[in-house]
């Protein structure tokens, strides 16, 4: 698929067909994720892959209220055969920037104006989703409910120095073509025009560039 097609076609899919996903596509997505930008080449990320029915069910048991009586959203999401949790390690970044080539002698978190560890893991997650789109698959990015994070950690043995930044579900598009997405999706909510969000030279100046 051409890159512009990947960008255009990627969307959040919350309802999946139950067909299995080719493991080679998942491996490709994970390989691509490790090519994401990361500050100082810290590589402070890890990816928890759940791709068996038992592990996927264990994830939803840890994060949902009642998977035996799911609502419409949960029913559609639970059909995704692959669940990936991108995790970030703040400690890895703090250690990396205390190394001689970076010039800092301490691991003071206040040196960081933004949590680059989370941002880099999120960019890796986007590459996973783009790879899925390129392969003709559907995906979605959601968060781990804060009150359920401890259960997720315990269920899957996530170490204390790694934090889940979200959840990527991967599967096949639903067989029902009438599925038009959630109320807030681009199919039901107008996408802002580029000139409304791009400011050139000064905020409020949105003149279109020459093409």
DSSP assignment string, 101-149: GG---S--GGG-SS-HHHHHHHHHHHHHHHHHHHTT-EEEEEPPPGGGH
Q: What is the pLDDT of residue 182?
A: 58
Q: Is the pTM of this model over 0.85?
A: yes
The one-digit pLDDT tens for each residue of the chain (211 residues) are: 899 999 999 999 999 998 999 999 999 999 999 999 999 999 999 999 999 999 999 999 999 999 999 999 999 999 999 999 999 999 999 999 999 999 888 999 989 999 999 999 999 999 999 999 999 999 999 999 999 999 999 999 999 999 999 999 999 999 765 555 555 555 667 889 988 889 999 997 765 655 4
Size of the chain in residues = 211
Q: What is the pLDDT of residue 8?
A: 93
Which pair of structure tokens corresponds to residue 125?
């997650």
124 contacts 34 by C-beta, under 8 angstroms: yes
């Amino acid at each position: 698929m051409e890159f512009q097609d990947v960008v255009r076609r990627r969307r959040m899919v919350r309802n999946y067909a139950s067909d299995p996903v080719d493991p080679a596509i998942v491996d490709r997505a994970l390989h691509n994720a490790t090519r994401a930008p990361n500050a100082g080449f810290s590589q402070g990320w890890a990816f928890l892959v759940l791709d068996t029915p038992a592990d996927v069910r264990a994830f939803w048991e840890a994060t949902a209220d009642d998977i035996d009586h799911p609502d419409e959203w949960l029913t559609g999401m639970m059909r995704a055969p692959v669940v990936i949790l991108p995790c970030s390690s703040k400690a890895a970044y703090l250690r990396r920037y205390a190394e001689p080539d970076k010039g800092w002698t301490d691991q003071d978190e206040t040196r960081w104006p933004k949590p680059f560890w989370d941002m880099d893991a999120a960019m890796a997650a986007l590459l996973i989703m783009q790879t899925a789109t390129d392969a003709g698959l559907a995906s979605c990015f959601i968060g781990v409910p804060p009150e359920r994070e401890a259960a997720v950690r315990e269920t899957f043995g996530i170490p204390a120095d790694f934090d889940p930044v979200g959840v990527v579900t991967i599967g096949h598009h639903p067989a029902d073509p009438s599925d038009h997405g959630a109320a807030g999706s681009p199919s039901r909510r107008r996408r802002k025009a580029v000139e409304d969000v791009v400011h050139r030279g000064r905020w409020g100046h949105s003149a279109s560039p020459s093409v």
